[in-house]
Amino acid sequence: MHFIDNLLKPGSIAVVGASREKQKLGRMVLDNIVKSGFKGKIYPINPKAKRIAGFTCHPTVSAVRQKIDLVVISIPASFVLDVVKDCVKKSVGAVIVIASGFSETGKDGLEQELKLKEVLAKKNIPLLGPNCLGIINTSAHINATFAKPTINAGNIAFLSQSGALGTAALDWAQKVGIGFSHFVSLGNKLDLSENNFIEYLNADKNVGVIGMYLEDFTDGKKFMELARTSSKPIIVLKPGKSKAAQHALGSHTGSMAQNDLIISAALEQSGVIQVETIEELFYTLMFFSWHKGEIGNKIAVITNAGGPGVVTTDEIEIKGLKLARLKSSTKKRLALTLPSSANCNNPIDVLGDALADRYAFALKTVLADRNVDAVMVLLTPQTMTDIVGTAKEIVKVTKTSKKLLISCFLGGRDVEKGREIISTSLIPGVAFPSDAVDALTNLYRYYQGKKRLSKRSSSVKSSKYAKKVNSLLEGVHGVVDTQLAERILKFYKIPLLRSHFPKDIADARRGADKVTYPIVLKLIHPKLVHKTDVKAVKLNVMNNKQLVQSYNELSLLAQRLKLEGYKMEIQPFITGTLELIIGVKYDEDTEIQVGHAKTIVKSRGFGHSLLFGMGGIYTEVFKDVSLKMIPLVDDDITDILNNTYAGIILKGERGVNYNVKKVRDVIKKINQLVHDISNLRELDINPLFACGKDVWVVDVKMFVA
């Protein structure tokens, strides 16, 4: 028996806060449990009542002699801890805390939460919430929430950190006819999180798709592991951009590789579909719920108005789908029956006077075309339009084909009856073409991503350099000395631009002669993250006289900035190269302070990410970057290069060629380096020079924990 069974498949439920007043939350929860058809034992807990809703009341949880699988607590926050202690005394199976007034209110509330967790941990009793709506499991006939009692049964499992969004989803589902297998309001995620439920729901045969509204991830790495192995599609809406306080150390990488980019990369590489809006979440869940199996990307559009057809065509092309090229035999057949002024090319315009039979003919004809993977039917309410009749014909035709059909009846009250006929027949129906294309794109992307995921091997073995490199870094904390960082890159045979670190001005002259003029002279210090901002770089130094002057100026700058232990670096001055950036950032755990001295981990990060793009001093201006989570496979590196202008230029634009193979090789070697150095927190290679034959690391910054 899985420990979550006590939560989602209980044999008995106690409701603390059950009241004789029907408008109280505890009473609503009790009534919903009864109305949902729950077959197990129900125990209202109320010390001031003998019977509620026909059930015998008990003063406390421990006063119930029988076994209790689930306790739902719906009382003010200040009384919850005592009840939880009583639950531990009774050894109940699981606890749901509905009450708000905990960590969402600040530090005092957080401390109350932690006390709950500490008490429950004595007997490993799982807790959902606090500050949540409750749970629904339609297959077990249980609705332990204070939401509406009537819920359609279906195959969607929905997890939400927002109770309000959860109730909106349940209400919307009633309207459009989709159903839920489970609904779980996660609340503050004190104990049970999305990760616990992914694992559980993935094994449930009643679940077809998992939808989530998450404001944060409890353990990013664990989430990725679970999502990659999930046999059920996972759709996530993650609102807003998380705080930039990820211990960014001031490098280019740190400032650009913020949490929203990392989350998007992590979800994409785990086979998760990330949506941007509530409506996209809802419609995508609908499509996954009602359509089983893979689809292609060639879409046909049938419309009774040219404008919506053109708009839909734009949406299809922009989102990366394709407008299906109809076979010539299909177009001939359409032309023989449709009016002469109808458009028989895709999008097919059956004209504004089209009745139900014309729609049905066009739909049957297009569905029979092997070049068509899915069909979108658009209808606008015009004077002659038979809305109800057309909806019925769409339903009839759909039953004869395995291809996905989406209906889009544009309008308001006039088309409402048609939409209702469509939705009750389990045909995806939307109000606007853009919603349909978004959901359709997500369906296509999911199955394409699954194919790539099945080929993915994320295993990276430690290299022969790992032990030596970690030994060199032993005792180092924060910024790694530039010479040591360059030495580490050399272990991995990452090409470095020739450098000399002079001890004094005489040594600088000797170094300049070795490197050969013209040269670049740089001031090196851990505090100098962006050297050009403080004029700590001297370019195109042509001779010894200029070298002495530059050296003296940088020495004075170091003194003025109080850069103790600074160094100088000499490199050749090279022009005509493409400047790139390759950066690594570790997504840190989020910690919060409790009391004066104690901190706790609120959530764990996703691990290391690698960023690639246009480098140089304008990196943050152009923001031409692509990001992936490490470890990388070859497909990831290809995506990184394809998704930036820098990558496109690398492949040869305007007749200028660069050594793409060597750039890929550097990325692969960094992938290995990150695996080997367990405490690496940030790596910033900017710029990486690329030319026709070679690539060189010009500047490197490394940070370790």
What the block records as the tokens of 431 is 């109000």
pLDDT digits 0-9 by tens, 357-368: 999 999 999 999
Backbone torsions φ then ψ of 6, nearest 5 degrees: -65, -25
Q: Regarding predicted confidence, which is higher, 501 or 596?
A: 501
Q: How far apart are CA 329 and CA 322, in angstroms?
A: 20
- What is the rounded average pLDDT of the residues 234-255? 56
Q: Are 128 and 97 in contact (CB under 8 A)?
A: yes
pLDDT digits 0-9 by tens, 615-633: 887 677 777 889 999 999 9
Query: Could you give the angle at the alpha carbon of 232 between the alpha carbons of 229 and 236, nearest 5°?
Result: 95
Q: How far apart are CA 655 and CA 642, in angstroms?
A: 18
Which class for 479: exposed (0-12), middle (13-18), buried (19 or more C-beta within 10 A)?
buried
pLDDT digits 0-9 by tens, 531-572: 888 899 999 999 999 999 999 999 999 999 999 999 999 999
The pLDDT value given to residue 248: 31
pLDDT digits 0-9 by tens, 476-492: 999 999 999 999 999 99
Tell me how long the chain is.
705
- What is the rounded average pLDDT of the residues 145-153? 85
Residue 92: pLDDT band with limits 50, 70, 90: very high
Q: Beta partners for 183?
A: 136, 158
Other CB atoms within a 10 A radius of the CB of residue 540 amount to 11
**Structural domains of the chain, with CATH:** 5-215 (3.40.50.720), 293-455 (3.40.50.261), 498-573 (3.30.1490.20), 578-704 (3.30.470.20)
Q: Are 424 and 431 in contact (CB under 8 A)?
A: no
Other CB atoms within a 10 A radius of the CB of residue 659 amount to 15
User: Cα–chain-centroid distance for residue 10?
Assistant: 32
Q: Using DSSP bridges, classify how beta strands 519-524 and 578-587 pair: parallel, antiparallel or unpaired.
A: unpaired
User: Does 456 have pLDDT greater than 80?
Assistant: no
Radius of gyration of the chain (CA): 31
Q: Are 599 and 625 in contact (CB under 8 A)?
A: no
Predicted model pTM? 0.91
Residue 188: pLDDT band with limits 50, 70, 90: very high
The pLDDT value given to residue 453: 85
Q: How far apart are CA 110 and CA 104, in angstroms?
A: 8
Q: Regarding predicted confidence, which is higher, 534 or 209?
A: 209
Q: Regarding predicted confidence, which is higher, 587 or 654?
A: 587
User: Does 253 have pLDDT greater than 60?
Assistant: no
The pLDDT value given to residue 629: 95
The pLDDT value given to residue 255: 46
pLDDT digits 0-9 by tens, 271-283: 999 999 999 999 9
Q: How far apart are CA 254 and CA 157, in angstroms?
A: 36
Other CB atoms within a 10 A radius of the CB of residue 162 amount to 19
Residue 576: pLDDT band with limits 50, 70, 90: confident
Q: How many helices (H) and strands (E) does the chain have?
A: 24, 32
Give the amino acid at 647: G
Q: Regarding predicted confidence, which is higher, 8 or 244?
A: 8
Q: How far apart are CA 385 and CA 204, in angstroms?
A: 44
Which residue, chain included where needed, has tokens 């195959």? 155
User: Does 376 have pLDDT greater than 50?
Assistant: yes
Nearest to 103 by CA among 685, 658, 613, 593: 593
Q: How far apart are CA 590 and CA 599, in angstroms?
A: 10
Q: How far apart are CA 259 and CA 272, in angstroms?
A: 17
pLDDT digits 0-9 by tens, 402-439: 999 999 999 999 999 999 999 888 899 998 999 999 99
Q: How far apart are CA 419 and CA 564, in angstroms?
A: 73
Q: How far apart are CA 194 and CA 272, in angstroms?
A: 14
Q: Give the three-class secondary structure for 282.
A: helix
pLDDT digits 0-9 by tens, 16-29: 999 999 999 999 99
Residue 529: pLDDT band with limits 50, 70, 90: confident
The pLDDT value given to residue 46: 96
* Mean pLDDT computed over every residue of the chain: 91
